[in-house]
Amino acid sequence: MTKLDLICPAGTPAALRVAVDEGADAVYLGFRDETNARNFPGLNFSVDELAEGLDYAHGQGAKVLLAVNTYAAAGRGQPWINAVDNAAKLNVDAIILADIGLLDYAARTHPGLRLHLSVQASASNAAAINHYVKEFGIRRVVLPRVLTLPEIQGINQKIDIETEVFAFGGMCPMAEGRCSLSSYITGKSPNMNGVCSPASHVSYVQQGQDLKTNLADFTINKFGPREQAGYPTLCKGRFTANEETGYLFEEPTSLNVTRIIPELMEAGVSALKIEGRQRSKAYVRQVVANFRKAIDAAARGERLVIDMDNLSEGGKNTTGAYRKKWM
């Protein structure tokens, strides 16, 4: 079994430096526009900042992966084409794509560019993954967070490329790339606009000791005085039906796989991905340092379980679908 690669988020140049300093094998990031699935205000990189980030990371032996992982808008695909061309020009170590049109463009125009298949492509079986390998020569696939450990192992036995799985951070309980909950009430979705539950539609209202979280003027949750809060994403909303109030899909919680790293290695996984380009560098520092320790321990045959509940939505962690199948 080979040692797992630690893939870390960088929403800003400072977060990139922190991730590299704390031991990331690679950082992933996006341009400051709708071409990436974390198109949050004030976040992400200009072309010049990416060039500087590449210098910094390469200087310390870390790689840089560029996420161009939203779907190109019909009739105005130029920003996506520019993003791919800039990635090739700056020699990023890999580009993470979801849109088959862009995969085709990248494979034909820049044959030397290493391609990773984004989780947004939602390729969750060997046949789909092998199709992307055959047609576009992808070298790694980021698996959706809906697969169990045995399913991941099964896929790895039938494909010849690397698999990357999510290891920590926000949970997306729906099949990634196929969730439209956010667009139902905000008109914007992660797949098309790079944002789920965009901040422009979010409001927090303090009602005495209670906190109401709203999305597009709909109340998504109400937290009591001592309750840990979460973001107002529809999938983690608390709703009342038949006079019962509860979570319909998933409660506010975050993924943390430190306790099952050996099993993920056993299942043939090559890389662990930390979610959270929209989080601060303080988050990046703590999570990357802890995962560096946990991965190094796993490589020595040890199991290091590290709780990071303080950083988690709702103050809770889960191993998600890897150990549970809810759909």
Partner 1 sequence: MSFRPDNHNENEEFSPLFMAGLMIRPLPRAPLNLLLQYTADHIQKSHPAILTRLEQIAGTVFLIQPTDFPHDIRLTIQKNHVSCQIEDEFMGLADVTICGPLLSLMDMMDGKLDGDALFFSRHLTIEGDTAALLTLRNAVDSDDIDLWAEIIASFGLLAGPAKAVLNLGDHLYQSLSRNMGLIGRAITLPLSKRCEGLEHDNQNLRNRLDHLDKMLTKTQNRLQSLSRKTKI
Applying CB under 8 A, does 31 fall inside the site for partner 1? no
Residue that has been written with the tokens 């990634």 in this structure: 176
Of 243-282, binders to partner 1 (CB under 8 A) are: 278-282
Residue with tokens 């993924």: 255
Question: By CB under 6 A, which span of 56-64, 174-182, 281-289, 302-310 interacts with ligand SF4?
Answer: 174-182
Segment contacting partner 1 (CB under 8 A): 138-146, 236-244, 262-270, 283-291? 283-291
Q: Restricting to residues 227-256, which ones interact with ligand SF4 according to CB under 6 A?
A: 233-235
Site string for partner 1, 32-71 (x = CB under 8 A): --------xxxx-----x----------------------
Contact between 190 and ligand SF4 (CB under 6 A)? Answer: yes
Shortest Å distance, C-beta 125 to partner 1: 34
Strand partners for 273: 7, 166
Q: Write the CB contacts of 327 (distance below 8 Å, at least 6 apart in sequence).
A: 146, 173
Chosen residue from 90, 202, 289, 304 binding partner 1 by CB under 8 A: 202
Nearer to partner 1, 261 or 311 (CB): 311
**Using rule CB under 8 A, residue 87 touches partner 1:** no
Nearer to ligand SF4, 162 or 176 (CB): 176
Nearest to 274 by CA among 3, 14, 16: 16
Residue number with CB closer to ligand SF4 (174 or 311)? 174
Tokens read off for 284: 């990046």
Residue 314 interacts with partner 1 (CB under 8 A)? yes
Residue 161 engages partner 1 in binding (rule: CB under 8 A):
no
Class of residue 118 by CB neighbours under 10 A (exposed 0-12, middle 13-18, buried 19+): buried
181 is a site residue for ligand SF4 (CB under 6 A): yes
Which range binds partner 1 by CB under 8 A, 55-63, 73-81, 100-108, 194-202? Answer: 194-202
205 contacts partner 1 (rule: CB under 8 A): yes
**Which one, 103 or 172, has the nearer CB to ligand SF4?**
172
Residue 82 binding target from partner 1, ligand SF4, none, CB below 5 to 8 Å by type = none
State yes or no: residue 200 binds partner 1 (CB under 8 A): yes
Scanning residues 209 to 238, which ones bind partner 1 (CB under 8 A)? 211, 223, 225-230
In the block, residue with structure tokens 């539609």:
201
Q: Rule CB under 8 A: which residues touch partner 1?
A: 11-15, 17-18, 40-43, 49, 198-200, 202-206, 211, 223, 225-230, 278-283, 285-286, 310-315
- Report the interface residues with ligand SF4, using CB under 6 A: 172-174, 179, 181-182, 190, 196, 233-235
